Amino acid sequence: MSAPKIRLGINIDHVATLRNARGGVLPDPLRAAHLAAEAGADNITAHLREDRRHIRDDDIARLVAELDSPLNMEMAATEEMTAIALEAKPHAACLVPERREERTTEGGLDVLSQEATLAPVVAALGDAGIRVSLFIGAERPQIAAAARLSAPAIEIHTGGWCDAVTEGRDKDAEREWQAIADGARYADSLGLEVHAGHGLDYDTAKKISTLPEIVELNIGHFLIGEAVFIGLAEAIRRMRAAMDKGREAVRLREGDSVA
Ligand code: PXP
């Protein structure tokens, strides 16, 4: 297959975490979003949690109204969040678990046990023109369930893999990597668009960009941390370069051209 240029979504939640630590309005997540877009982000991701621990309702409203880049709103599949998304109409919505019972042991959304709850949410958001992705572990039954719901995209949870890499648990890291690679191929074969995210840094983002099925990465915590030392724009440029390097390896391997 020909590997498209991989998109970079910047998650700005933790700019809001910092703001909320002090109360008040600084640092402003919207300013971070503008800066991220200028530095090469393809979209901006923000998670409106039920407890509003970082992003707040007015942040979502301002991001939709004032940002030129597409907004990917992460949200639980609740009535409240669905109503907010239908009102705000972000470009995309990524359905994520918030409560224990909504997630698998891998930490992704348990689509299998929640198909009936998720179906109307996926349909309502899709009917409103919002591109839906489901944040799931790379297990085939979960991926098949996402396809049955006609979700256009999944986001593979990379947290377990990234933790294993960081902690030097090589065997676990290899097992998790093989599962991600298999899950990406399987999802692609079912016609799902494949995204990935959680816990990625420069090295893991570069490596995961070598999977040709992956078209989007969503990255937050590492980059906001890097921003403390080298600035957000530079951190995003380095991330972009790492991802492009990974994708270049696919091109060289397959002799195809990066779109
Ligand atoms: N994708 C999803 C669905 C997430 O929930 C998160 C964390 O908010 C991320 C990506 C980004 O993860 P991190 O902040 O670890 O880069």
pLDDT tens profile 238-252: 999 999 999 998 878
pLDDT at 137 over 60: yes
Output the CA angle 181-185-189, nearest 5 degrees.
170
Q: How far apart are CA 144 and CA 111, in angstroms?
A: 9
The model's pLDDT over 177-199, given as tens digits with 9 standing for 90+, comes to: 999 999 999 999 999 999 999 99
Mean pLDDT computed over 160-165? 98
Instruction: Indicate which atom in ligand 1 lies nearest the CA of residue 13.
Output: 8
pLDDT score of 37 more than 80: yes
Whose CA is closest to atom 6 on ligand 1?
198
Residues with CB under 6 A from ligand 1: 11, 13, 47, 74, 94, 96, 135, 155, 197-200, 218-222
Topology (CATH) of 7-221+236-258: TIM Barrel (3.20.20)
- Mean pLDDT confidence for 200-217: 97
pLDDT tens digits along 109-128: 999 999 999 999 999 999 99
74 is catalytic: yes
| Percentage with pLDDT > 70 across the chain | 97
| Shortest-distance atom of ligand 1 to CA 74 | 3
- The β-bridge relationship of strands 131-136 and 193-197 is unpaired
Catalytic-labelled residue, pool 74, 102, 155, 213: 74
Q: Tell whether the model's pLDDT for residue 253 goes beyond 90.
A: no
Mean pLDDT score of the chain: 95
Q: How do the domains of the chain map onto residue ranges? A: 7-221+236-258
Q: Which of 225, 213, 217 is nearest to 243 (CA)?
A: 217
Return the exposure string of 240-256: e unless at least 16 CB atoms fall within 10 Å of the residue's CB, then b: bebbbebbeebeeeeee
Band of the pLDDT at 60, cuts 50, 70, 90?
very high
Mean pLDDT of 7-14: 98
Q: Above 90 in pLDDT, residue 101?
A: no
Give first-to-last CA distance, the chain, whole Å.
12
* 210 contacts 232 by C-beta, under 8 angstroms: no
What is the pTM assigned to this prediction? 0.95
Ligand 1 pocket test: pick from 8, 10, 17, 45 the residue with the most ligand atoms within 8 Å of its Cβ: 45
Cis bond upstream, residue 141 (ω within 30) = no
The pLDDT of residue 132: 98
Q: 160 pLDDT band (50/70/90 cuts)?
A: very high
User: Which residue in the list 14, 198, 213, 226 is annotated as catalytic?
Assistant: 198
Does the annotation count 102 as an active-site position? Answer: no
38 labelled catalytic = no
Q: What percent of the chain has pLDDT over 90?
A: 90
Q: Where are the beta strands (DSSP E) in the chain?
A: 7-11, 43-47, 71-75, 92-95, 131-136, 153-157, 193-197, 214-219
